[in-house]
C-alpha cells in the first residue's frame, strides 16, 4: 500500500508543480478558504489511483467533502486525502505545501505519505518504520533513510504554524519554559518532529482530519504521539459531532519522545 501512496503522491506533486510554475486563478470555497485547479487536479489523480487499487476502501478527500461528496459509511478502514495542504502557501508562492495520503484503520492513522514537492522531501510512515526520501527535479526517488523522534532537550524546539497562530498556542508555549520556535507550514510540522528536528507541536486552532492524518501517521511510525488535551490519542473518522463538523479535529499536542 505504501508503494501505491508514494507513486500517487509523486504524480500529484508533479501536476501541482506544473501549475505552480504556470500560475493559476484562485477561487474561494464556501468557508472562504482558497482553492485552485492544483488542489482539484491532484485530488483527481490520487482518488483515481486509490479507487483503482483498493475499490473496497472508502475515500474521504478534502475537495470532494467540500462539494458534498462523502461515503455513506467508513467501516474499519478508509483513506484520508489532502491533495494540496497549504494552499495559502502555494498561492503566496511559498514552498511549504504538501501532498497528503493516509490510511486510517480503527480510528488511528496507520500508513501515511507526505510529499513536499518544492523541497523534494518525501516522508513515509507505516507501523514500526518511518523514513524520508530525497526526490530529484525529475521526480525520481533517491536516497532513503529511516527517521525517529528524539528525546527532548533544552531549549525545547516548538513547531508553530505560520498562518494559524493563536493566542491559546502562545499561552501554551509560555508554560514550556525555555523554547526555540520553529515556523513551518502544512503537515511538515509533524514531519519535523518525526525526523528529530523539533520536539513538540501544539495546535490550538482548527484543523480537519485530512490536514493531519498523513503527517500524524509518519510521526507515530517514528515513535511520536498526537494527543488531545485530555491525553487521549487523536482519533479519526469523527462524524455527527454535536458541536462541530464531520472530520473536524479538537485541539491537540503532537510530541516526539
- Could you report the per-residue pLDDT of 213-228, keeping only the tens digit for each? 999 999 999 999 999 9
Return the pLDDT at 141: 96
Return the pLDDT at 162: 56
Return the pLDDT at 39: 94
Tens of pLDDT along 52-77?
999 999 999 999 999 999 998 999 99
Percent of the chain scoring above 70 in pLDDT: 98
Please state the rounded mean pLDDT for residues 30-44: 90
**Residue 92 domain boundaries:** 2-147
Same domain, 129 and 172: no
Same domain, 97 and 139: yes
Q: Which of 159, 142, 111 lies closest to 2, judged by CA?
A: 111
Return the pLDDT at 164: 64
Alpha-carbon span 196 to 193, nearest angstrom: 5
- Per the prediction, the chain carries an average pLDDT of 94
Same domain, 8 and 83: yes
Same domain, 171 and 142: no
Same domain, 132 and 54: yes
Same domain, 139 and 104: yes
| CATH for 123 | 3.30.540.10
Please state the rounded mean pLDDT for residues 19-29: 89
Same domain, 178 and 72: no
Same domain, 135 and 24: yes
Q: State the pLDDT confidence band at 88, using cuts at 50, 70 and 90.
A: confident
Helices 2-22, 37-53: inter-axial angle, 10-degree rounding: 160
* pLDDT value at 100 more than 60: yes
Tens of pLDDT along 134-189?
999 999 999 999 999 999 988 999 998 655 678 898 899 999 999 999 988 889 99
Return the pLDDT at 226: 98
Residue ending a domain, choose from 123, 147, 171: 147
pTM: 0.95
Same domain, 192 and 235: yes
Q: How far is CA 188 from the centre of its chain?
A: 7
Residue ending a domain, choose from 121, 147, 173: 147
Annotated binding site: 62, 82, 84-87, 211
Annotated binding site for substrate: 62, 84-87, 211
The two beta strands, 179-184 and 77-85, are unpaired
Same domain, 127 and 207: no
Residue ending a domain, choose from 85, 120, 147: 147
Contact indicator for 5, 51 with CB cutoff of 8 Å: no
Percent of the chain scoring above 90 in pLDDT: 81
Same domain, 126 and 47: yes
Please state the rounded mean pLDDT for residues 106-130: 97
Measured CA distances, 37 to 6, 28, 119 (Å): 22, 12, 21
Please state the rounded mean pLDDT for residues 187-213: 96
Look at the chain and report how many structural domains it folds into: 2
Please state the rounded mean pLDDT for residues 226-241: 97
| CATH for 187 | 3.40.190.80
Annotated binding site for Mg(2+): 62, 82, 84-85, 211
Same domain, 208 and 131: no
Amino acid at each position: 500500500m505504501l508503494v501505491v501512496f508514494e507513486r500517487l503522491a509523486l504524480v500529484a506533486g508533479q501536476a501541482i508543480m506544473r501549475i505552480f510554475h504556470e500560475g493559476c486563478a484562485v477561487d474561494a470555497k464556501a468557508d472562504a478558504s482558497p482553492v485552485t485547479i492544483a488542489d482539484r487536479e491532484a485530488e483527481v489523480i490520487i482518488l483515481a489511483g486509490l479507487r483503482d487499487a483498493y475499490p473496497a476502501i472508502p475515500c474521504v478527500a478534502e475537495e470532494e467533502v467540500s462539494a458534498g461528496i462523502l461515503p455513506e459509511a467508513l467501516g474499519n478502514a478508509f483513506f484520508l486525502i489532502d491533495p494540496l495542504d497549504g494552499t495559502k502557501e502555494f498561492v503566496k508562492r511559498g514552498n511549504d505545501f504538501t501532498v497528503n495520503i493516509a490510511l486510517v484503520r480503527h480510528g488511528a492513522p496507520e500508513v501515511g505519505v507526505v510529499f513536499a514537492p518544492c523541497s523534494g522531501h518525501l516522508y513515509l510512515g507505516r507501523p514500526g518504520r518511518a523514513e524520508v526520501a530525497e526526490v530529484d527535479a525529475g521526480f525520481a526517488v533517491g536516497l532513503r533513510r529511516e527517521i525517529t523522534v528524539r528525546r527532548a532537550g533544552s531549549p525545547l524546539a516548538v513547531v508553530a504554524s505560520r498562518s494559524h497562530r493563536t493566542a491559546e498556542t502562545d499561552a501554551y508555549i509560555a508554560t514550556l519554559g525555555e523554547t526555540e520556535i520553529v515556523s513551518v507550514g502544512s503537515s511538515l510540522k509533524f514531519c519535523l518532529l518525526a525526523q528529530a528536528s523539533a520536539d513538540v507541536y501544539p495546535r490550538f486552532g482548527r484543523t480537519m482530519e485530512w490536514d493531519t492524518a498523513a503527517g500524524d501517521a509518519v510521526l507515530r511510525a517514528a515513535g511520536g504521539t498526537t494527543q488531545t488535551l485530555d491525553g487521549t490519542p487523536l482519533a479519526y473518522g469523527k462524524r455527527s459531532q454535536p458541536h462541530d463538523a464531520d472530520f473536524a479535529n479538537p485541539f491537540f499536542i503532537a510530541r516526539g519522545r
